[in-house]
Amino acid sequence: MAVCVLVIGSGGREHTLAWKLAQSQHVRHVIVAPGNAGTANNEKISNSAVSVTDYTLLVQFCKDQKIELVVVGPEAPLAAGIVENLTSAGVKCFGHTGEAAQLESSKKFAKEFMDRHEILTAKWKAFTTPEEAFNFIMSADFPALVIKASGLAAGKGVIVASNKEEACKAIQEIMQDKAFGAAGDTVVIEEVLEGEEVSCLCFTDDHGPNMGGMGAYCPTPQVPMDLLLKIKNTILQRTVDGMWQEGIPYIGILYAGIMLTKNGPKVLEFNCRFGDPECKPTSEEDVAQRDSGISSGIAKVGGMLFFSPDSLRELQGVNLKIPPVLPIIRNHLGSRLLWL
């Protein structure tokens, strides 16, 4: 029986998810809250203004609309606990609990977790006062530093400083000027990693023990199959297993931002949802079945997400004069309709 699916979010990622879900024979209709102009003009997709922060209203909306599955796109509602609030009311969700989402919502938590489970990452220190951070910067034995707001900052809370002066200025902006609000109450200072940066995403379920992106393409020649398997075994699987060992069920998407250094792949950061734009070069499989299976606990743990051998490319809607090399699917990010 075809079902109705609710997608939470308004970005290009959510446009892509809704578009892909609507292709499934198992999906009758997709509602996007709040959605954007791109999700407002498809016969199987519509937008809703229902609040995604008032859980009582949202639960009632899901019951009234006979929603069988909620797919949560952005990190903020995941960190705020939307999944546990909906699932406790009997609404099936694809996404992480707020506790599991700490891998993304707290860079300090993520770095401590990686150290505990021997997952390679940059050398780091965390600070809660500007004075401590300034002192560390001046005594650090590596000239270039990365300054990160520990909390969620819409993908913009990372500043790469080429010298100590720039690093101190970054601390002032984040901790004293509150450029990212409470997200900068704690900062993480790291060494700069050199190499090629790649994104690696996988699905996982419950059967196992600087700024937003400007574009994405896949597959990538920088990650041949042997390296992909190494990343799976030493980073992705180790992360999922470690979360379970610490009593935190990890169900949904694990997205690792990875630097391919001369000493092997090292984690830059974790995200707990599809990337935007990384979601858009999408897989060929039925996303509705995959998401529903995971939320029901019937999919395999650590399943890798493989893409079509035909390279897919995506560029955000910015003013770039780049000629298209492949057929284009236009995904909207935060757009809205204006009636004149």
Q: Which amino acid is at 52?
A: V
What confidence category does residue 281 fall into, taking pLDDT thresholds of 50, 70 and 90? very low
Residues carrying CATH 3.30.1490.20, the chain: 123-191
Distance CA(241)–CA(272), nearest Å, equals 15
Please give the C-alpha separations between residue 235 and each of 75, 121, 214, 241, 336, in angstroms, as whole numbers.
21, 10, 25, 10, 39
Q: What is the mean pLDDT of residues 232-260?
A: 92
Top mean pLDDT of 186-190, 196-200, 311-315 is at: 186-190
Q: What is the CATH number of domain 123-191?
A: 3.30.1490.20
pTM above 0.85, yes or no: no
Amino acid occupying residue 185:
D
CA angle 272, 9, 111 (to 5 degrees): 20
The mean per-residue pLDDT over the stretch 273-291 comes to 55
Q: Which amino acid is at 104?
A: E
* List of residues 6+ apart from 179 with CB closer than 8 A: 173
Domain spanning 3-96, CATH class: alpha beta
Confidence of residue 303 (pLDDT cuts 50, 70, 90): very low
For tokens 């997200």, what's the residue? 183
Assigned token pair, 5: 């699916």
**Residue 263: both structure tokens together:** 């000493």
CATH fold for the domain made of 196-315: D-amino Acid Aminotransferase; Chain A, domain 1 (3.30.470)
Domain with CATH 3.30.470.20 in the chain: 196-315
Query: Quick one: tokens of 176?
Result: 């004293």
Query: What SS3 class is residue 118?
Result: coil
Does residue 214 have a pLDDT over 80? no
Question: What's the rounded mean pLDDT across residues 100-106?
Answer: 97
Alpha-carbon span 113 to 126, nearest angstrom? 13
Q: In this structure, which amino acid lies at residue 188?
A: V
CA distance linking residue 258 with residue 264, whole number of Å: 10
């951070």: which residue's tokens?
Answer: 133
pLDDT of residue 312: 39
Q: What is the pLDDT of residues 129-164, one digit of tens each?
A: 999 999 999 999 877 899 999 999 988 999 999 999
Separation in Å, CA 207 to CA 178, 240, 244, 289: 41, 11, 10, 17
The predicted pLDDT at position 107 comes to 98
CA distance 298 to 289: 10
- Residue 225: the pLDDT is 84
Domain with CATH 3.40.50.20 in the chain: 3-96
Task: Answer whether 112's CB lies under 8 Å from 91's CB.
Answer: no
Mean pLDDT, the chain, as a whole number? 82
- Beta strands 3-9 and 67-72, pairing class: parallel
Q: Which structure tokens are listed for 200?
A: 């690696």
Quote the pLDDT of residue 202. Answer: 80
- Element (DSSP H or E) covering residue 136: helix 130-139
The beta strands (E) that lie in 150-235 are given as: 158-161, 187-191, 196-204, 215-218
Q: Please state, in angstroms and rounded to a whole number, the distance separating the CA atoms of residues 73 and 7.
A: 7
Q: Determine the average pLDDT of the residues in 271-276.
A: 79
